Amino acid sequence: MLTIRLALHSPGRLLFLWRTWTIAKFRMEIFPCEIGPGLHLPNPINIIIARGAKIGSDVTIYDGANIGFPRMERPGEWLSSPEIGDRVLIEPGCFVVGRIRVGSDVRLKLGAFVDRDVPNGSVVEASPD
Amino acid sequence: MPVSRYRALARPLPWPLIAADYAALYAARSDSRERLLARAPVRFLTNPSLHAVVMIRVALGGPAILMGMWRRILLAKHSIELEAGFELGPGVVMPHPFGLVLGSGAKVGANVVLYHNVTVGRPEGDERAPAVLGDRVTVYTNTIIRPGAVVGARATIGANSLVEGEVPPGSLLKRGGVVRRCERAEPPTGAEA
């Protein structure tokens, strides 16, 4: 937690140090993004937060969550990243992919795959396919 | 120590393979050759994806007696489990270099993209052939590729998949897809064939 805050507030040139450190210690990759206050990581492992993602306040992210895929498709262009509202609960193994907006008070249940907008206050189940 | 001595130390390293990995990782930037070469020292020092790939190359190309040491280092730094006898083609890209299991006997082709938490299993007993991945395959997160799996060239395997059988070349296996043994995947769904 402290590592992430420090990483996000350090100059961009030091990103590689934080990236190496978070991979070695937490198996996490946090690219430059906006995270609101009150982020809670109960099991800080296997989490990926893509470049440019916007995360609101009091968000809980469990292990194995993928928030955006930060790989470039074309030169100089990053894959668009999602925007997540306040008080969202992201359970283990969730994928949040693409330029979408997840509203506030949302619960993404175990293994949910989200690639479209989610309205406020909804619960997303893992789809069977 | 004369320069020739350094050369002798550097010779066992699989330089062409490492160069192919480096070029593949930065292919999306379409840098010129001069720029690639000029930035190589800094990138090799700072990019964890390159750290992992170089360690895997050195481990696989080096003497078998050092394999245990490399395995421990890879496990400690990247949580990558590497076994001797794993065959890795040139130009592999690991966007998030952690949680991979690369079992012995599996064959991986050229220009493959392996995301995190991918398992490429090793054969158990005699009855199973090793897993084979063709060229330009992309394997997304949390996928398990079991022994006996044959993934054709340019195929894409979605996240959370389980592959035991044959995936035809150029096809797209959707996330959570399961391909059992003695069974072919669905024909290409929306993918470029």
Residues 26-55 on B with a CB inside 8 Å of A are 28-30, 46-48, 51
pLDDT at position B192? 44
B188 touches chain A (CB under 8 A): no
Interface residue of A21, A46, A47 to substitute, partner B, most B CBs within 10 Å: A46
B102 by DSSP, 3-state: which? strand
CA atoms within 13 A on the CB side of A28: 22
Q: How confident is the model at residue A99 (pLDDT cuts 50, 70, 90)?
A: confident
Backbone angles phi, psi at B183, to 5 degrees: -155, 135
Interface contacts (A, B; CB < 8 Å): 55
Whether the CB-CB separation of A59 and A40 falls below 8 Å is answered with yes
Is the pTM higher than 0.80? The answer reads: yes
Question: Closest Cα of chain A to B113: distance in Å?
Answer: 11
CA atoms within 13 A on the CB side of B193: 5
Q: Euclidean distance between the first and final Cα of chain A, in Å? A: 34
Question: Closest Cα of chain B to A49: distance in Å?
Answer: 11
Compute the CA torsion angle B153, B156, B161, B166 (nearest 10 deg): -30
pLDDT per position as a tens digit, B177-190: 888 876 555 555 55
Contact criterion met (CB < 8 Å) for B28 and A24: no
pLDDT at position A105? 93
Residue A24's contacts (CB-CB under 8 Å, 6 or more residues apart) are B76, B77, B78
Contacts of B116 in chain A (CB under 8 A): 27, 46, 48
Percent of the residues in chain B that have a pLDDT greater than 70, as a whole number: 86
A12 touches chain B (CB under 8 A): no
Predicted complex: ipTM over 0.85: no
Question: Closest Cα of chain A to B97: distance in Å?
Answer: 8
Here the contacts of B39-46 (C-beta below 8 Å, separation 24 or greater) are B46/A16, B46/A17, B46/A20
Report CA B71 to chain centroid distance, whole Å. 15
Contact criterion met (CB < 8 Å) for B29 and A75: yes
CA A50-A56-A59 angle, 5° bins: 85
Compute the CA torsion angle B124, B128, B130, B131 (nearest 10 deg): -100
- Does pLDDT of B151 surpass 90? yes
Residue keyed to tokens 């895997």 = B56
CA atoms within 13 A on the CB side of B171: 19
Q: Please provide the average confidence, as pLDDT, over all residues in chain A.
A: 81
Contact criterion met (CB < 8 Å) for A23 and B98: yes
Contact criterion met (CB < 8 Å) for B46 and A95: no
CA atoms within 13 A on the CB side of A114: 32
d(CA B168, CA B141): 20
Report CA B3 to chain centroid distance, whole Å. 33
